Structure 1
Amino acid sequence: MESDEIDEAGLERLIPLFYERVRADAEIGPIFNDAVADWPGHLDRLVAFWSSVMLTSGRYKGSPMAAHLKHRSRITPAMFDRWLTIWTATTDELMSARAAAALQNKAARIAESLGLALFFRLEDPVAARGGIN
């Protein structure tokens, strides 16, 4: 099982350090800092989220999609890449290679899903054909 080397204690170390780096980042930090008023509470929710995702603990109750949709006007696809770059560096630093890879793979799938929900729009089929003739 890919989460064998991931535990609550590891997530409790990883998440605060990762978001400390996110908050300090020139590209994505301002959005996070503006969006989150209660960082201790938010970090607790994020640890619960990753616990639910990686350890199937069921601790997280919430909607990541709704949280991101509220800030859609300020989020760009490139910001997901920046988030993943910081995530990769932090997980590589703190976790075993196997745990880091599992966390990185899951984060990439989550980022892809959020990105599709925020940015993907099917073209109007009529407009795509050049309008109605």
Structure 2
Amino acid sequence: MPALPPRFNISRDDIARVVAAFYEQVRVHPGLGPVFAAHVTDWPSHEAKITRFWANAILHERGYDGNPVKIHRDAGNVRPGMFEPWLALFDHTLRHELTPEQARAWSALAHTIGRSLRASVVEKMQGPGGVPILR
């Protein structure tokens, strides 16, 4: 069976560069930095894993083995309101690191994935009567 073509024109090196630049910004972000710091103790390994995630999602490589929904649901300190600043910071990084076409394509994919992750966190977080906690 022939390999699927990439979702858009980008190299694995470009993906790794974006991931590294993004997490450099995350580590100093006042809202996101502490959330990540509570879970990530080995940044190079984390960045390599996330590079594999995006290489899988974009290039159809099969090097990623993980369950992002479970990880985000089980983290305990990830809240639905965190996805908007996460995506804004990611979009900023994409615009800074890539061509406009690459940035637009990757952003669209990231927002689709972000909506799914946010929905999984909302599903887990319910108040009295099953009302979702959205912040």
Classify the TM-score, shorter chain: 0.7 to 0.9
Residue aligning to 2:89: 86
* Structure 2 residue 123 is the aligned partner of structure 1 residue 120: yes
What's the offset of the Cα at 1:79?
A: 0.6
Amino acid at match of 1:91: L
CA contact (8 A) 2:6 2:59 kept: no
- Paired with 1:118 and 1:76, the residues of 2 have a C-alpha distance of 7
Residue aligning to 1:95: 98
Task: State which of 58, 62, 68 in structure 1 corresponds to 2:62.
Answer: 58
* Structure 2 residue 13 is the aligned partner of structure 1 residue 13: no
Task: State which of 27, 34, 38 in structure 2 corresponds to 1:23.
Answer: 27
Q: Percent identity?
A: 28
- Residues 58-105 of structure 1: per-residue CA shift (max 9 Å, x gap): 11111111211221x322222100000000000001111111111101
Q: Give the TM-score, by structure 2 length.
A: 0.83
What's the offset of the Cα at 1:46?
A: 0.4
CA contact (8 A) 1:22 1:28 kept: yes
**After TM superposition, which residue ranges in structure 1, 4 or more long, deviate above 2 angstroms?**
1-5
What's the offset of the Cα at 1:120?
A: 3.1
Residue aligning to 1:40: 44
Unaligned stretches of 5+ in structure 1? 129-133
* Structure 2 residue 78 is the aligned partner of structure 1 residue 75: yes
- Paired with 2:40 and 2:32, the residues of 1 have a C-alpha distance of 13
- Paired with 2:28 and 2:107, the residues of 1 have a C-alpha distance of 21
- Paired with 1:3 and 1:97, the residues of 2 have a C-alpha distance of 15
SS in 1 for 2:115: helix
Q: CA RMSD in A?
A: 1.9
Unaligned stretches of 5+ in structure 2? 131-135
Amino acid at match of 2:104: A
Larger Rg belongs to: 1
